[in-house]
């Protein structure tokens, strides 16, 4: 049951130079794939674009066909109260359970703010968050 | 400058040619009798020592190539027994396999003699202090220059490469008058000295530089001479010849190749045909007195031409002009020879990256930098930056290990590197000399 809360994020390798994000976003636009959330992590000369999209399989195929290096990564999306303390509640639950957050990014959506998390023990994290009354995004974002 | 060995250096051209013929003759007989590798080569070419009747007949002899040394690793083509050797030097090969050069006592003697003639022709001698800032060790530069300078009675300061601030301090404190290093390292040293508030021109006694192990130009010479207040001389060699071996004289009109030690030919790189003086071609050298590792018609791969006129210094031996380039894709980075095939070979052993690559060589300040672009493989791609950085560092570490040059790696998108365009796009050299 934890599995139904594990969301497939697509991660795309990108060189750190002008136009690369435009190329990725353009490809998703042309395939009519909607991006819910995304972030860019940058390092020395390269970066990784991470995105939650409505059709991850299609996005993976589209970008791979265009020559991009793409992988799926399991993440979870937790709804946060969009008010002071929202992030603190979630981070505390995971911290108390000894679960490490490898990276995170967030978006403020229509109904609630959502925190996307990559953690080291994903099923544990799902159990802990649900156990503490957290609300998680379902695997299939489009449904 | 007075000759170190007047009898040899000012030998009349006819006498020099007679001596060369005698030396070639005995070399060829010796190799035919005792060196299995070269006898086989001669038989393949259907040439017998008796066919060498004039000096021009040398053109009948088979060539030797770098690959012969590689195939003969480590000492299969040596002509001396192990107990006759007094030294080894080792240079990196083109595909990861190194080449080994052995030396007898006589080989070291001739190497030192050759450089003693060159150094003294530029005015180095007793009372001079020579800082040797070539690498010491398996590379021939450090020890070669060291022995040559000691031979002429100079005091040697064996600093090797690196720790540049200390080198500048020692240059001042020990009254260094001459230096042997790569031209780019000397420029770097000049910059470091300025940052320390030291002007090499005004605050040191440096007056001579023997610069080589990498190509440089007349413009660079002018810059070095004016900025540092020294006379800068070209020095030439490769480990197969022994190491740094020949230099310009004070006239700066080409490098004197001592004819009693080496027979120089310039050949057409495509046909192997011997070219006339003045014509550009591939430098090909026969070492006339080398014992441990004989080199006959060795195709070095450097492009140059024989100077036609006699040198004003009075030395009678042939001279070659500046090295104009390579017949192959060898790069020289910080004085170290690098072949793109070495990079290719090293990358094959790193599954995290693809086999395609691009080398970008640049000069930041005075020093060369080498960047190797690689594509992350599908299996290795992680969305964690830390894991990608581990791959990047692994590539840098492995390449450094096999090339002996520090390398920056850059991870690029798949498919973005040149595929089939050949070597021209695999290497981007942005240096202007």
A65 and A82 both lie in a single domain: no
Q: How confident is the model at residue A143 (pLDDT cuts 50, 70, 90)?
A: very low
User: CATH number, domain at B377?
Assistant: 3.30.300.30
* Cβ-based contacts of A50 with chain B (< 8 Å): 383
Number of domains in chain A: 2
- pLDDT attached to residue B155: 98
For residues B318 and B311, what is the distance between their CA atoms, to the nearest angstrom? 9
The CATH number given to whatever domain includes residue B287 is 3.40.50.12780
User: Token pair 């995004």 is at which residue?
Assistant: A137
Per-residue pLDDT reduced to its tens digit, B199-217: 999 999 999 999 998 888 8
Beta carbons of A69 and A13 less than 8 angstroms apart: yes
Is B412 within the bounds of a domain?
yes
pLDDT at B96: 63
Q: In a mutagenesis test of the B interface, which of A9, A21, A45 is the best target, namely the one with the most B β-carbons within 10 Å?
A: A45
pLDDT digits (tens, 9 = 90+) for B126-135: 999 999 999 9
Whether residue A143 is contained in a domain is answered as no
Residue A51 is part of which domain span? 4-73
Bridging pattern class, strands A113-119 and A46-53: unpaired
- In tens, the pLDDT along B49-92 reads 999 999 999 999 999 999 999 999 999 999 999 999 999 999 87
Rounded Cα distance, A79 and A125, in Å: 14
Do A56 and A101 sit in the same domain of this protein? Answer: no
How many residues are listed for chain A in this entry?
143
The Cα A125–Cα B306 span in angstroms is 76
For chain A, percent of residues with pLDDT exceeding 70: 97
Residues A68 and A80 in one domain: no
Query: Are the C-beta atoms of A7 and A142 separated by less than 8 Å?
Result: no
pLDDT of residue B16: 97
For residues B324 and B363, state if they share a domain.
no
Average pLDDT, chain B: 93
Mean pLDDT on B278-287: 96
Mean pLDDT of A60-87: 92
The closest alpha carbon to B179, from B119, B249, B139, B245, belongs to B119
**How close does chain A come to B410, measured CA to CA in Å?**
7
Token pair in block for residue A21: 């994000």
Mean pLDDT of chain A: 91
Q: Number of folded domains in chain B?
A: 2
* ipTM for the complex shown: 0.83
CB B107 within 8 A of CB B290: yes
Phi and psi dihedrals of A77, rounded to 5?
A: -115, 120
| Length in residues, chain B | 433
Distance from CA of A104 to the nearest CA of B (A): 12
Pair B378, A69: CB distance under 8 Å: yes
Residue B93 has pLDDT above 90, yes or no: no
Can you give the CATH number for the domain in which A126 is found? 3.30.2130.10
Kindly state whether residues A11 and A66 are assigned to the same domain.
yes
Q: Tell me the pLDDT tens digit for each residue of B360-413.
A: 999 888 889 999 999 998 889 988 899 999 999 999 999 998 888 899 999 999
Give the ranges where A6-119 is alpha helix by DSSP (H). 20-30, 56-65, 86-96
- For the cut 90, the answer to whether the pLDDT of residue B237 exceeds it is yes
Instruction: Work out the percent of chain B whose per-residue pLDDT is above 90.
Output: 80
User: Looking at chain A, which runs of residues are DSSP E strands?
Assistant: 7-15, 35-42, 46-53, 70-80, 101-108, 113-119, 135-136
Closest CB from A9, A43, A102 relative to B389: A43
pLDDT of residue B128: 98
Cross-chain residue pair A48–B389, CB shorter than 8 Å? no
* pLDDT, mean of residues B116-140: 97
Tell me whether strands B427-429 and B353-364 are parallel, antiparallel or unpaired. Answer: parallel
pLDDT computed for residue A82 by the predictor: 83
Q: Is the pLDDT of residue B195 over 50?
A: yes
DSSP H or E segment with residue B234 = strand B231-238
- The domain of B289 spans 71-328
pLDDT at position B94: 63
**Residue among B137, B135, B126 at smallest CA distance from B180:** B135
pLDDT given for residue A107 in this prediction: 86
Residues B320 and B350 in one domain: no
Task: Indicate whether A142 pLDDT > 60.
Answer: no
Contacts of B54 (CB under 8 A, 6+ apart): B21
What is the rounded distance in angstroms from the CA atom of residue B47 to the CA atom of residue B118? 35
pLDDT at B217: 87
CA–CA separation, B352 vs B347, rounded Å? 9
What percent of chain B is predicted at pLDDT more than 70?
Answer: 98
In this complex, which of A46, A103, A118 lies closest to B411 when CB atoms are compared? Answer: A46
Do A62 and A14 share a structural domain? yes
- pLDDT for B176 equals 98
Predicted confidence at residue B324, as pLDDT, reads: 86
Domain's final residue, options B328, B346, B363: B328
Across B169-186, average pLDDT: 96
Residues B324 and B338 reside in one and the same domain: no
Nearest CB to A44 within list B392, B412, B416: B392
- Say whether A50 and B385 touch across the interface (CB within 8 A): no
What's the pLDDT at B341?
A: 83
């Amino acid at each position: 049951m934890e599995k139904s809360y594990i969301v497939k994020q697509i991660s795309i390798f990108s060189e750190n130079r002008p136009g690369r994000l435009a190329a990725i976003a353009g490809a998703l636009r042309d395939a009519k794939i909607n991006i819910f959330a995304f972030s860019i992590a940058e390092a020395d000369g390269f970066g990784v674009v991470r995105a939650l999209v409505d059709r991850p399989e299609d996005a993976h195929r589209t970008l791979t066909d265009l020559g991009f290096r793409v992988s799926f990564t399991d993440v979870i999306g937790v709804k946060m109260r969009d008010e002071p303390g929202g992030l603190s509640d979630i981070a505390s639950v995971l911290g108390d359970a000894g679960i490490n957050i490898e990276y995170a990014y967030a978006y403020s959506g229509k109904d609630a703010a959502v925190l996307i998390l990559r953690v080291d023990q994903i099923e544990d994290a799902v159990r802990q968050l649900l156990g503490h009354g957290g609300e998680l995004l379902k695997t299939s974002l489009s449904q | 400058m007075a000759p170190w060995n007047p009898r040899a250096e000012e030998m009349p051209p006819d006498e020099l040619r007679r001596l060369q013929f005698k030396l070639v003759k005995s070399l060829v007989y010796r190799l035919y009798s005792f060196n299995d590798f070269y006898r086989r080569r001669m038989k393949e070419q259907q040439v017998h020592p008796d066919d060498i009747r004039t000096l021009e007949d040398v053109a009948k002899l088979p060539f030797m190539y770098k690959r012969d040394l590689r195939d003969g690793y480590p000492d299969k083509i040596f002509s001396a027994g192990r107990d006759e050797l007094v030294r080894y030097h080792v240079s990196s090969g083109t595909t990861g396999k190194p080449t080994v050069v052995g030396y007898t006592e006589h080989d070291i003697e001739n190497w030192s003699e050759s450089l003693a003639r060159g150094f003294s022709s530029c005015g180095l001698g007793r009372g001079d202090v020579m800082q040797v800032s070539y690498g010491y060790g398996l590379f021939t530069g450090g020890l070669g220059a060291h022995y040559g300078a000691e031979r002429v009675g100079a005091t040697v300061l064996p600093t090797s490469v690196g720790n540049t601030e200390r080198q500048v301090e020692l240059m001042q404190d020990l009254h260094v008058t001459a230096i042997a290093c790569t031209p780019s390292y000397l420029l770097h040293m000049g910059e470091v000295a300025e940052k320390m508030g030291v002007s090499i021109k005004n605050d040191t006694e440096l007056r001579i530089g023997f610069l080589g192990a990498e190509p440089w130009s007349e413009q660079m010479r002018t810059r070095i001479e004016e900025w540092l207040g020294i006379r800068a001389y070209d020095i030439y060699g490769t480990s197969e010849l022994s190491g740094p071996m020949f230099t310009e004289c004070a006239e700066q009109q080409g490098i004197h190749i001592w004819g009693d030690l080496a027979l120089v030919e310039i050949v057409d790189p495509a046909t192997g045909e011997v070219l006339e003086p003045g014509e550009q071609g591939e430098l090909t050298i026969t070492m006339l007195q080398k014992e441990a590792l004989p080199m006959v018609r060795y195709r070095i791969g450097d492009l140059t031409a024989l100077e036609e006129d006699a040198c004003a210094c009075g030395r009678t031996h042939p001279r070659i002009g500046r090295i104009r380039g390579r017949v192959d894709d060898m790069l020289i980075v910080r004085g170290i020879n690098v072949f793109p095939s070495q990079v290719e070979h090293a990358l094959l052993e790193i599954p995290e990256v693809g086999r395609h690559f691009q080398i970008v060589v640049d000069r930041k300040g005075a020093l060369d930098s080498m960047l190797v672009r690689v594509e992350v493989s599908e299996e290795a791609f992680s969305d964690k930056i830390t894991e990608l950085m581990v791959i990047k560092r692994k590539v840098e570490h492995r390449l450094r290990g096999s090339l002996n040059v520090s390398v920056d790696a850059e991870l690029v998108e798949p498919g973005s590197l040149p595929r089939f365009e050949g070597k021209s796009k695999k290497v981007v050299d942005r240096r202007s000399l």
